[in-house]
């Protein structure tokens, strides 16, 4: 509150005029961050909610219901580095009375489900129990799922197609595929087109194990990889000789 006193002389009289103006105080604020970013499926995701109170003590609550694609039932939270607790329904975390200009940090942990969408957008709200003061949002890129397929065995120089490979991004777009077959930094064998999900590959004419790696990139630049071993062998052959005829009892 700001008060101004104005003295005015009117004739022989001194008139004092008091002017009072109200300066609105600061209100509570909230910010939201996430790590890691991007995040792999089945990995743990941590949200950090930072609350800064205004110029009066207030009973504050954080509401963070978490987006679909996170394990809601096993999510946990901690306030100011304290003990971890199960996240309440709809993510309602009561902070109690927060002092003037005090700061509170809430951490929320949850696992990313395999069926999560390509992006997760989370919104946290700060309320006094009835009125929402502020909200904050953050979006994280979820990395694609990729399965290069099972280990295989082929003959020397054989041509095969990696038809068991699979990749997906929870409904998002896959921007590119890239197959590699390096040994000591040198490519082994040849691909017809290494930029497709199911490429045709010709094995080398040398026995050995080749590590086949599939790299997938999503529309947001997130990268995921998976590999399998391709065993290249010279399979043994058997030759029993030409047919022979023998007489009975011999």
CATH code at position 128: 2.60.40.740
Is residue 98 within 8 Å of residue 140, measured between CB atoms? no
Over the chain, what is the mean pLDDT? 87
Claim to verify: residue 197 and residue 155 sit in the same structural domain: yes
Q: Could you tell me if 127 and 63 lie in one domain? A: yes
The pLDDT value given to residue 15 = 39
Between 64-68, 120-124, 183-187, the lowest mean confidence (pLDDT) is in 183-187
- For the stretch 83-119, pLDDT in tens is 999 999 999 999 999 999 999 999 999 999 999 999 9
The residue segments making up the domain with residue 117 are 29-141
Residue 238: pLDDT band (50, 70, 90) is low
Q: What is the pLDDT of residue 16?
A: 41
Number of domains in the chain: 2
Report which of residues 6 and 192 the model is more confident about. 192
Rounded Cα distance, 52 and 46, in Å = 20
From residue 102, alpha-carbon distances to 29, 30, 53, 124 in Å are: 11, 12, 5, 19
Higher pLDDT, 77 or 209: 77
205-214 in b/e burial notation, b at 16+ Cβ within 10 A?
Answer: eeeeebebeb
């Amino acid at each position: 509150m700001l008060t101004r006193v104005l003295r005015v002389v009117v004739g022989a009289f001194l008139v004092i005029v008091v002017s009072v103006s109200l300066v609105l105080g600061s209100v509570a604020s909230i910010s939201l961050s996430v790590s890691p970013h991007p995040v792999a499926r089945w990995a743990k995701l941590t949200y950090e909610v930072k609350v800064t109170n205004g110029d009066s003590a207030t009973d504050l609550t954080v509401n963070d219901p978490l987006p679909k694609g996170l394990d809601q039932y096993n999510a946990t939270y901690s306030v100011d580095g304290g003990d971890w607790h199960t996240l309440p329904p709809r993510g309602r975390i009561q902070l109690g009375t927060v002092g003037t200009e005090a700061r509170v940090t809430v951490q929320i942990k949850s696992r990313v489900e395999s069926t999560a969408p390509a992006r997760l957008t989370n919104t946290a709200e700060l309320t006094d129990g009835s009125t929402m003061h502020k909200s904050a949002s953050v979006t994280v890129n979820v990395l694609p799922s990729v399965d290069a397929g099972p280990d295989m065995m082929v003959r020397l120089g054989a041509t095969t197609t990696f038809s068991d490979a699979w990749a997906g991004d929870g409904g998002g777009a896959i921007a590119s595929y890239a197959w590699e077959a390096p040994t000591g930094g040198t490519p082994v064998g040849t691909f017809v087109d290494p930029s497709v999900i199911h490429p045709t590959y010709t094995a080398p004419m040398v026995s050995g194990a080749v590590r086949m790696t599939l790299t997938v990139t999503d529309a947001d630049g997130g990268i995921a990889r998976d590999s399998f071993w391709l065993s290249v062998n010279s399979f043994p052959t058997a030759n029993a000789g030409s047919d022979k005829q023998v007489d009975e009892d011999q």
